[in-house]
Amino acid sequence: MTGQPMDSTTPNPWASDASDFIPVDLPPETTVSSGGSPAAVPYYVPAPVPAPALAAEESWPTREMMAGHRGRFRHAATTSEPTKVTAPLSRRRPGLSLAAVVVLSLLAAFFAWVTAEPLWLALGHGDVGTATVTQCVGTGVGQRCVGDFTAIDGTLVERVTLLGVGTSGAGSSISARMVGVTSDQAYVGAALHGLHLRWLVGFALTMLCGLGIALATGSIRIPDRRSRRFAVGISLGAPLLLMVGFLAATF
């Protein structure tokens, strides 16, 4: 069998259609025509054929191989954060806590009592008058003086304790102030200049007693935040209620 020569008019059975190729900008191959001017001959590159999608059983790695890894990674992600452990509350002896609460409550009541009158006088409430010293015992901080208080309106209160007399002796008259005629003490001299200091110190000591009650009862160590705030509020509110009661009683 002899082959026949192929010319330009004979179709090539192995040739592909021009639509299956993509033209690219490559250096053109030049040919010289009869006129002497070069003619550009375009090159064609076959279009890329997309790879067929692999089935699920043909993918790599397979699902069977990744089954254990996914569970392990998920377990590691969930257990990477440290777990917060709440320390157990230490046991307290109820007898000691109860005794501390009683003692601190009595101290809070005392401080509230000595704070009430200076607070009213510092706010401008009270009667102004003259105190007559009748007797003094001791000197300095331990000095105790007794006298009679006469208000501006003529009201006389006998045998009241005079605070801040200083060097004044028996029989001397000093300007004084009292919260009311039912009170048993009058403030004179230096005691009138330290009214704000008196009630501020007394108020601070009263609140410290409330804080001590919160510590003694373990209120600040309650794990639940809402319950802890409620318990601490009661511990601090009880001394405040005592102070309000003494303020109402001495008005």
Q: Which residues pair with 18 in a beta bridge?
A: none
pLDDT for residue 106 is more than 90 = yes
pLDDT (average), residues 14-35: 50
pLDDT (average), residues 168-175: 81
Distance (Å, rounded) from C-alpha 182 to C-alpha 250? 8
> What residue spans define the domains of the chain?
95-250
pTM for this prediction: 0.57
Q: What are the backbone angles phi and psi of residue 93, rounded to the nearest 5°?
A: -80, 120
Run of H or E residues at 193: helix 190-193
Round the average pLDDT of the chain to a whole number and report it.
75
Query: In degrees to the nearest 10, what's the CA dihedral of 29, 35, 37, 42?
Result: -30
Of 140 and 202, the one with more pLDDT: 202
Q: What is the pLDDT of residues 84-105, one digit of tens each?
A: 555 555 566 778 888 999 999 9
pLDDT for residue 204 is more than 90 = yes
Q: What's the confidence (pLDDT) of residue 57? A: 53
